[in-house]
Amino acid sequence: MMRTKVAWFTLVVLAGSLLFAALSIPFGDPAMSDMDDYFIAHGQEQTGANNIVTSIVFDFRAFDTLGEACVLFTAVFGVSVLFRLRKKGEDYEYE
Amino acid sequence: MSDSLSKIIRTTADVMFLFITVFGFYIVLHGHLTPGGGFQGGAVIATGFILLIVAYKLEDFLGWFQKRTFQNCEMSGLVLFIGTALAAIPLGYLFFMNFLNGTGGLFGQAVPFGINPGFLNTAGTIPIMNIAVGIEVLGGLSIIILYMTTGIRSHEEGE
Amino acid sequence: MIEIIHILVLIGILITAALIVWQKNLVAAAVTFAAFSFLLSIEFYILQAPDVAIAEAAVGAGISTAIYLIAIRATHDQEVT
């Protein structure tokens, strides 16, 4: 089968390139860590929270959390429109 | 999920629902001290409700909790989150400013720097936002599953 | 000791990820996906990210499994060759 060979070749090339990209980066040694050092040094006294992740998510970058809440609301809205209860005899309209 | 499952599964769901809910509220309320937070705790509580939806009949579940309850949870969570963020503006601070931290009042206890035992009454507006996001995620994820179950139900009856 | 557990969890992630694709039964594939999410949350915990581990365990193993089971129930499984 030609398609099987092509699929295996693509899989091997993709896996090899991804593994090479992952192995060539030094692990646990970031090149730029100014923001990390600032958050670790001043996050506790500026926000009062012991958990630095929560202090970043809810204080330093709270706009991100606001967007996430809007995303969840939009998901609920979409599901409620998609799965709404239809009346008797009502059918979907296709354009 | 139109009929309830066996008695073993129902009893296990009854017992586990209590522990899952208590653990979820623990994660939400201790979000500023231990790993976790609003989203994780709300997802854990929603898992407890989904366990009840899967184990029992839909009519039984709708007799205990109405859809209106989860919708109100979602909306009140969003309003509390935005309201906490907007409440900083009339007090003279910027949007999303942590104005309760270090004032000594509600959630305003001064935190000792470094390793400390973890006091619950700290961190300003972060616990309030944790509770708001927890309520919102709890309502949202539960109402998604509830809508899907009822939609499937009407689809099966219509055929 | 922790290295042995780490390697075992990684091997389990590979095995369950392959089983999800190779399962013929859809319900079995959904349950295998729950096991995959559980092992992935243990991996996150070993890599010192407990926040992500809790979110993965709740959303991946709990809610998405329920969504998959509801979707499987609402559709017909018919193998297309």
Does B136 lie at the interface with A, CB-CB under 8 angstroms? yes
Mention every residue, 6+ apart, whose C-beta is less than 8 A from residue A60: A39, A43, A47
Q: Give the pair of three-digit tokens for residue A6.
A: 């092509």
Within 10 Å of residue A91's Cβ, how many Cβ atoms?
Answer: 8
pLDDT value at residue A91: 64
pLDDT in tens, A11-70: 999 999 999 988 887 777 777 788 888 888 887 777 777 888 888 888 888 888 888 888
The two structure tokens encoding residue C72: 């499987």
Please tell me if residue A81 touches chain B, with a CB cutoff of 8 Å.
no
Give the pLDDT score at C49.
87
User: pLDDT band for position B73 (50/70/90)?
Assistant: confident
Query: How close B19 gets to chain A, by Cα (Å)?
Result: 24
Partner residue facing A57 (CB), from B37, B154, B158: B37
A74 at B interface, C-beta within 8 A: no
Would you call B152 and C70 a contact, using CB atoms and an 8 Å cutoff?
Answer: yes
CB contact, 8 Å: B148 with chain C? yes
- pLDDT for A84 equals 72
Residues 6+ apart with CB under 8 A from A43: A49, A52, A55, A56, A60
What distance separates the 2 farthest-apart alpha carbons in chain A? 65
Is the pLDDT at B159 greater than 70? The verdict is no
Tell me what pLDDT residue B96 has.
81
Q: What pLDDT does B158 receive?
A: 55
Going by pLDDT thresholds of 50, 70 and 90, the confidence category of residue B2 is low
Q: Which of residues 56-85 of B touch A (CB under 8 A)?
A: 74, 77-78, 81-82, 85
Write out the residue range of the structural domain in which residue B77 sits. 7-158
Instruction: Give residue A90's pLDDT.
Output: 63
pLDDT at C60: 87
Using alpha carbons only, what angle is made at residue A76 by residues C54 and C76, rounded to the nearest 5 degrees? Answer: 90
C6 burial class (0-12, 13-18, 19+ CB within 10 angstroms)?
A: middle
Whole-model pTM: value is: 0.81
Q: Is the pLDDT of residue A89 over 70?
A: no
pLDDT given for residue B155 in this prediction: 63
> What per-residue confidence (pLDDT) applies to A14?
95
B111 vs C4, higher pLDDT:
C4
Nearest alpha-carbon partner for A76 in B150, B75, B131, B134: B75
- Provide the percentage of residues in chain B whose pLDDT is more than 70: 93
Q: Mark yes or no for CB contact B145/C70 under 8 Å.
A: yes
Binary contact (A47, B101; C-beta < 8 A): yes
Residue A45 sits at the chain B interface (C-beta within 8 Å): yes
C-beta atoms of C50 and B36 within 8 A = yes
Q: Report the C-alpha gap between A66 and B81 in whole angstroms.
A: 8
- Read off the pLDDT of residues C7-42 as tens digits, 9 standing for 90 and up: 999 999 999 999 999 888 888 999 999 999 999 999
Asked if A80 has any chain B CB less than 8 Å from its own CB, the reply is yes
| Confidence bin at C81 (pLDDT 50/70/90) | low
Residue-level pLDDT at B129 = 87
Domain ranges of chain C: 2-74
Which of B100, B144, B157 to mutate to test binding with chain A, by most A CBs within 10 Å of its CB?
B144
| Res. B134: pLDDT tops 60 | yes
**Of residues C76 and C33, which shows the higher confidence score?**
C33
- A63/B126 Cβ within 8 A: no
List Cα–Cα distances, B130 to A18, A49, B15, C49, in angstroms.
37, 12, 27, 19
Q: Judge whether C70 is closer than 8 Å to chain B, CB to CB.
A: yes
Task: Report the chain C residue with the minimal C-alpha distance to residue B32.
Answer: C51
pLDDT at A13: 95
| Between A94 and A11, residue with greater pLDDT | A11
Residue C45: closest C-alpha in chain B: B35
Work out the minimum CA distance from C38 to partner chain B, whole angstroms.
Answer: 14
pLDDT tens per residue, range B80-131: 888 888 888 888 888 887 777 767 777 777 777 777 777 777 777 888 888 8
Give domain status of residue B151, yes or no: yes
pLDDT at res. A81: 83
Top pLDDT among B121 and B159 is at: B121
> Does A9 score more than 90 pLDDT?
yes
- pLDDT score for A88: 62
